[in-house]
């Protein structure tokens, strides 16, 4: 953020200084502007090539903008083109340049340089990406139809002997499979195979193994924006049923595919390591709701961690404006993690009624942890990668440090799965973490 701010104020300052000089001399000072703009691009390129600026997608617009200005300036020098001085025209162009500077640097402001949370486990983490095709399901969001395609990313311990528990992650309503990368790396460094999947058309975007990008469905986005359990529980139930059918279908297919590869002797390291007898599922928000549903639906899943997620699959109908809940005991261990976004409202949100009931339940395998001062998206790496965007989406600034929050989530997940997937227990957690 500091480097971006310095660059922003430097470019803005130069533009204003050039404008003031032109106004003072009542001349455009075209040659000076040309050389300055060429120099700006050369300085930027030098900083990028020497890694003073960490090159990435957030700098693409800035590079294009500065390069375009440098080329235009070079052409102007070659043609020796002079412009007549007009105060109004000068002010107009200067204002336009300042606006363009802002938008060119906006991605860098939104996604500043950040430091990856270091893992604490002994294993180096390997990664792999695959795109699976579910031959038994048609794509419901794409106009062209076709079979449902899902892209997954694996994180696994390299050079490990034996087999590891499998932990599968489902992202939030408009998330991506990389939403909790720090968590995946932490678990993998301690001997877990972690698989995170993109729910195609329900994620912001998905880049498949071949590089093709698929963006979120407009219809799905509209449904998300319209859903209101307080105003229209019947319609919300329809949405929940549809979302759970798709997401749980995705999770079910991916788990089955991985288990088939592991049992079938696939020698790729990521499959060779999988212990199909120890499976955990986790997710954030809507993804956590799908994970909770899979935990009830599959007998081979032993534990579920839900990051601020309602039990949507347990809603089986609506009667007189109230949700009807599955009254059967939840069959496996559950760890619910909450932030300020949901914790104070659990007793007032209809879709969280089951979560609220479990707070007082005597079930020894149901755990609830509240990270005070965190926001909904502070439970994901978005708060690390884009503090500004996370703050906007949270609706307010988190008062608990992002790194502390993520480390707390990672530690809770590791201890929880160590207990229920590796048999290294017992597991216990604090009721409240943070400020």
Instruction: Tell me the two tokens of residue 325.
Output: 């809940």
pLDDT score for 82: 64
**Regarding beta strands 147-157 and 274-284, do their DSSP bridges make them parallel or antiparallel, or are they unpaired?**
unpaired
Is-contact 83 93, C-beta < 8 A? no
pLDDT score for 73: 83
pLDDT tens digits for range 257-297: 999 999 988 889 999 999 999 999 999 999 999 999 999 99
Confidence of residue 298 (pLDDT cuts 50, 70, 90): very high
Structural domain boundaries of the chain? 2-110, 125-434
**How many Cβ atoms from other residues are within 10 Å of residue 215's Cβ?**
12
- Could you give the C-alpha distances from 390 to 171, 383, 397, 415, in angstroms and in order? 15, 5, 8, 27
User: Yes or no: is domain 125-434 CATH 3.40.50.1480?
Assistant: no
Comparing CA positions, the residue from 301, 420, 393, 417 lying closest to residue 339 is 393
pTM for this model (two decimals):
0.86
Would the pLDDT of 166 be above 70? yes
- Mean pLDDT, the chain, integer: 90
User: Which range, of 27-31, 241-245, 347-351, averages the lowest pLDDT?
Assistant: 27-31
When pLDDT is averaged across residues 11-27 and rounded to a whole number, the result is 80
């Amino acid at each position: 953020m500091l480097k971006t701010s310095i660059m922003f104020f430097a470019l803005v300052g130069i533009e204003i200084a050039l404008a003031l000089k032109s106004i003072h001399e009542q001349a455009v000072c075209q040659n000076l502007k040309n050389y300055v703009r060429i120099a700006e691009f050369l300085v930027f390129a030098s900083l990028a090539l020497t890694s003073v600026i960490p090159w990435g997608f957030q700098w693409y617009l800035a590079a294009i903008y500065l390069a375009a200005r440098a080329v235009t300036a070079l052409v102007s020098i070659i043609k020796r083109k002079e412009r007549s001085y007009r105060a109004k025209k000068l002010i107009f162009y200067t204002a336009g340049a300042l606006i363009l500077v802002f938008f060119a640097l906006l991605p860098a402001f939104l996604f500043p340089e950040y430091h990856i949370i270091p893992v604490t486990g002994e294993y180096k983490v390997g990664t792999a990406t695959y795109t699976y095709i579910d031959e038994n399901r048609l794509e419901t969001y794409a106009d062209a139809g076709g079979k449902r395609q899902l892209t997954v990313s694996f994180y696994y311990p390299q050079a490990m002997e034996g087999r590891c528990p499998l932990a599968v992650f489902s992202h939030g309503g408009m998330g991506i499979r990389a939403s909790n990368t720090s968590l995946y790396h932490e678990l993998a460094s301690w001997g877990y195979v972690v698989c995170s999947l993109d729910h195609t058309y329900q994620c912001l975007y998905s880049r498949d193994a071949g590089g093709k990008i698929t963006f979120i469905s407009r219809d799905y986005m509209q449904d998300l924006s319209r859903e209101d359990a307080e105003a229209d529980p019947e319609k919300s139930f329809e949405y929940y049923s549809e979302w759970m059918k798709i997401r749980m279908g995705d999770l079910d297919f991916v788990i089955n595919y991985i288990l088939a590869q592991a049992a079938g002797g696939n020698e790729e390291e990521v499959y060779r390591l999988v212990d199909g007898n120890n499976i955990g599922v986790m997710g954030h928000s809507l993804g956590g709701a799908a994970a909770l549903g899979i935990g009830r639906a599959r007998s081979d899943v032993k534990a579920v961690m839900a990051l601020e997620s309602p039990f949507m699959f347990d809603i089986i109908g609506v009667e007189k404006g109230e949700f009807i809940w599955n009254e059967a005991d939840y069959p496996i261990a559950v760890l619910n993690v909450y932030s300020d976004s949901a914790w104070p409202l659990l007793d007032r949100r209809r879709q969280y009624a089951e979560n609220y009931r479990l707070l007082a339940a005597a079930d020894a395998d149901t755990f609830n942890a509240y990270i005070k001062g965190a926001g909904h998206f502070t439970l994901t790496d978005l708060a690390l990668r884009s503090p500004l965007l996370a703050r906007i989406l949270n609706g307010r600034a988190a008062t608990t440090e992002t790194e502390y929050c993520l480390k707390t989530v990672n530690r809770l997940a590791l201890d929880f799965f160590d207990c229920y997937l590796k048999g290294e227990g017992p597991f216990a957690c604090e009721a409240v973490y943070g400020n």
